[in-house]
A and B are shown apart, each in its own frame.
Chain A
Amino acid sequence: MKRFSLLTLAAVVMFLAVGCAKPPEAEIGATQAEMDKARQAQAETWAANEFRGANEAMNAAQAEITAQNEKWFKNYDKAKELLSTAKADAAKAAEAAVANKEQAKNDADAAMIAADTAITTAEAALKVAPVTKDSKADLELFKNDLATLRSTLDAAKASFGSEDYKKALESANSVKDQATSIATQLEEAKAKRSGVKKH
């Protein structure tokens, strides 16, 4: 009888412990806070992969919580684990976003300086390019191209000011490459123009 009472008591306690398990509200709140921090750090832009991982873990946790809520005997252990993973991933995403954004800013800045140098180099090369009657049209074209590149670089600087560092970097690199190409073409034309004109 005594044994039967003990067994019954144990069963009731177990039933109450498992059946009355509550959703991990505290963990959900803490994870959401980390996700929000990651969003504030613009992790969706600057640490997209890491943020996607955190988001997926969060979604999986929420799906698990929903599934457990439907059950008689609820067990939120797996959900807690998923929330813990999501929280850690969100923190990593926030950290990565800050670092990546700073790197992108530095890269864009360096690229714009390099682009400016490339344009100035090409402009100087244009000013000392040999003048002949037949070179006038070509030199005029290069002059217009360099003016366009200056405008593009100004637009890149505007993007930089708006913290669109990826766009600023892409534009600046393109400007640098095109300006370098013009300088190279001027150098090659100089060599070709030397000598007697062929009529």
Chain B
Amino acid sequence: MAAGPLFFPLLRPYPENVPSARPEMSTPACPRLLLRLVTAGLSAALLSGCDQPPLVQIEAARKAMERAARAGGVVRAPAVCTAAQAALALAEAELRVQMKRSSWSRDYDEAAVLAGKALEAGRSCVAHAQAALDYRRGRAEAAIGDLQGAIARTTALARYVPDGEGIKSRILRASISLGEGRASFGHGLYERTEEAAARGRVQIATAVTEIDAFIDGYRADPRRRAWGRWITETVKDSRAGGKAVIIVDKLRRQLLVVRGDEDLASFEVDLGLGGMESKTRAGDAFTPEGRYKITEVRNPGQTRYYRALMLDYPNPDDVARFRAAQKAGSVPKNGRIGSNIEIHGKGGRDQDWTQGCVALSNDDMDTLVGLVAVGTSVTIVGMIPDGVLE
């Protein structure tokens, strides 16, 4: 301590038995002692006034740690922030030790150094925690965006798979997870956001796998040979007669109008809500598969479905299949084969809702009716096999 050495002259007893070397110069003991006391007192006052506790720095370090805590400091930047906490604790401990001492013996030098280090560490902790927080927010936002897009694409694909495959429930669960993720994001719980998004992704991954498996299974259906043959015959007839024909691809939800080798039009369609099987009887809500003809054109006011092209379902193949199903017992003996299968309007709903008919939007029906007539061939297949329409 700087003031220390000044006390030694006071503590050392004045040697009364040692004669002065220059007796003519000796000064009285009392004034010298008084001078020293005053000097020491002034020095102590000056020094104790200069040695201030580093309270400002420690308070700044505490505030930095509070900011870091709001950004999730110890969780997001554990190494840096744990060290900062330790540095602050050291500085506070040293401060407490010094403040317990008598005012004249306090030394805040070490506390000041520790407070400086604590402040620097606290600022570093804030910076690291904020950077980690921003990083996690970015990841969480991307995860929600990805899931949202995946749900939309999967929903569009689910349209091609009959209901009851469990796919729609998976999409619903993924949507619920998306909602949970958004809620967590709103509360700044970014890790939970990512967890919710991950749960949603699992549902979507399974749904997509199931959709793809269904499509592959359908494309490998043994009926595809018959479908290919019908299309080939239909196009051949069109080429020979120079007339437009209609081909309906059930899997793709597509109605094509072709004339020979020329594509005239393509429309999106809605089908029977019963699924992808071929119609067998009345009420099964399947869209039939086979070769048909337009028997009648109904215009607005003549049908409750805006416009309609009536088909000659059931054809002889349909009747034969119905009889076989009755014989096999899958259709009751008093069951009916069904009728009134049409291509009509009020469609464009992007879902299968009819009782077996093929539905287009009203605008598309307006266009279609202009391309066809009574007697136009209509071939409905499960799907157009690869390479058939070349």
Q: Which of B208, B219, B384 has the most CB of A within 10 A?
A: B208
1/0 per position for A113-126, CB-CB distance to B under 8 A? 11011101101110
The answer to whether A132 touches B263 (Cβ under 8 A) is: yes
Stretch at the interface among B45-53, B66-74, B154-162: B154-162
The answer to whether B149 touches A117 (Cβ under 8 A) is: no
The answer to whether B201 touches A127 (Cβ under 8 A) is: no
- Which of chain B's residues has its CB closest to A136's CB? B390
Asked whether B215 is an interface residue with its Cβ less than 8 Å from the other chain, the reply is yes
- Which of chain B's residues has its CB closest to A117's CB? B205
The residue from A110, A131, A134 contacting B254, defined by CB atoms under 8 A apart:
A131
In the assembled complex, the CB of B390 is this many whole angstroms from the nearest CB of chain A, namely 7
- Which of chain A's residues has its CB closest to B80's CB? A92
List chain B residues, Cβ under 8 A from A114. Answer: 146, 150, 201
In the assembled complex, the CB of B120 is this many whole angstroms from the nearest CB of chain A, namely 14
A130 to B248, CA, bound (A): 11
List chain A residues, Cβ under 8 A from B212. Answer: 120, 123-124, 127
In the assembled complex, the CB of B295 is this many whole angstroms from the nearest CB of chain A, namely 24
Stretch at the interface among A71-79, A148-156, A160-168, A189-197: A189-197
- Which of chain B's residues has its CB closest to A118's CB? B150
The answer to whether B364 touches A120 (Cβ under 8 A) is: no
The answer to whether A117 touches B266 (Cβ under 8 A) is: no
The answer to whether A120 touches B208 (Cβ under 8 A) is: yes
List chain A residues, Cβ under 8 A from B253. Answer: 128
Knowing A95-B79, A121-B154, A128-B252, the reply to whether A133 touches B205 (Cβ < 8 A) is no
* Leading 3 A-B pairs by shortest Cβ distance: A124-B212, A92-B79, A117-B205
Main secondary structure of the interface of A (DSSP, over half): helix
A189 to B198, CA, bound (A): 30
- Which of chain B's residues has its CB closest to A134's CB? B263
In the assembled complex, the CB of B160 is this many whole angstroms from the nearest CB of chain A, namely 5
Asked whether B58 is an interface residue with its Cβ less than 8 Å from the other chain, the reply is no
The residue from B201, B211, B215, B264 contacting A197, defined by CB atoms under 8 A apart:
B264
In the assembled complex, the CB of B139 is this many whole angstroms from the nearest CB of chain A, namely 9
List chain A residues, Cβ under 8 A from B267. Answer: 194-195
The answer to whether B153 touches A195 (Cβ under 8 A) is: no
A46 to B326, CA, bound (A): 70
A194 to B347, CA, bound (A): 14
The answer to whether A196 touches B150 (Cβ under 8 A) is: no
A130 to B249, CA, bound (A): 9
Knowing A116-B205, A117-B204, A117-B208, the reply to whether A128 touches B251 (Cβ < 8 A) is yes
List chain A residues, Cβ under 8 A from B211. Answer: 124
Knowing A96-B79, A110-B198, A125-B153, the reply to whether A133 touches B208 (Cβ < 8 A) is no
The residue from A130, A180, A184, A195 contacting B367, defined by CB atoms under 8 A apart:
A195
Asked whether B296 is an interface residue with its Cβ less than 8 Å from the other chain, the reply is no
1/0 per position for B244-259, CB-CB distance to A under 8 A? 0000010111101000
13 contacts between A and B (CB under 8 A): A110-B198, A110-B201, A121-B208, A123-B212, A124-B157, A124-B208, A127-B212, A131-B389, A132-B263, A133-B261, A133-B262, A197-B263, A197-B266
